[in-house]
Amino acid sequence: MTEFRIDRRTALGGMAGAALTAAAPAWAKGRKVEEGYAQVPGGRIWWRRVGAGAGLPILLLHGGPGAGHDYLEPLEALGADRPVIFYDQLGCGRADSPPDERLYTIQRSVDEVDAVRKALGLQRLALYGHSWGSMLAIEYLCQGRGAGVEKLILGGALASVPQTMAGQQRLIDALPNGAGRRLHALEAAGKTDTPEYQKLVQLFYDRHVCRRKPYPAYAQRSFDILGKSIAYRVMNGPNEFTITGVIKDWDRRKDLGAIRIPTLITTGEFDEVTLDCHETIRDGIRGSKLVVMPGCSHLNMVEKPAAYVGILRGWLA
């Protein structure tokens, strides 16, 4: 997402695995907040734990790959009921960003989830994945890694990158005033670095990624992180609908039946991950529930944070 304002956040110092008392942001005001680092395959990740209620802890897997945890900050409100654990995955945010591109794979990311759980003692938990994080959660569970995972929430979710890319192309074709045709013409001419192309990409994002303007500071931070993230470049590609990285062929549609825990799926009316992708997951995971938020696109938690948190809190209760 190089068209967003870039302001790379400086990684925090500290010892791996050390827990630090952190200043509480608005969402977490009045609740216990801890943060620190944990060693994972390839380096260190940064984590943040908000709340200490009696409810089942929830581990959040952010999108991108490489967006960092920041745009999920509204979910800190769930800390009134339970511990809420965020972490920046390797290659973004406050985590290490080693330059070796061979590290940025789906399998290493799956192994990272296990390492985070072990470091933080998360034996029983609910697992939340948004966008790429939904892929990661599905892959994790399909590999049989889900011992102790009692509930699953998938937002802006996909079980197949090819299916998702097909849906995104339909959305591009439906852009107003021939914008989709012009975008494809510029791609064919190799002019993807031009201001005109970036303006058309932004039009897609404004309709299908985040419809709230201006972006709240916490969301802008994630967009800034994406613009610099090695994980995004290597695993995804140059933008949201040009997926040329290592995840481009990932497809778990036939394996969804292996997931046998209570599952909530959320999406927005205008989500860049189209409704058919979410229906595929709903139909593949027996007993799962699908909620579509009207007026929202991909970042429901940014566009309507109170309503989104309410949906999650009600389902987790």
Q: Which residues are catalytic?
A: 131, 271, 298
| Amino acid making up residue 137 | A
| Number of neighbours of residue 290 by Cβ within 10 angstroms | 17
| Number of neighbours of residue 65 by Cβ within 10 angstroms | 29
Nearest to 76 by CA among 61, 91, 60, 90: 60
Q: How far apart are CA 126 and CA 8, in angstroms?
A: 31
What tokens does 23 get? 């200043």
CA atoms within 13 A of residue 263's CA, in its CB half-sphere: 26
Distance of CA 284 to the CA centre of its chain: 21
Residue 84 main-chain phi, psi, to 5 deg: -115, 120
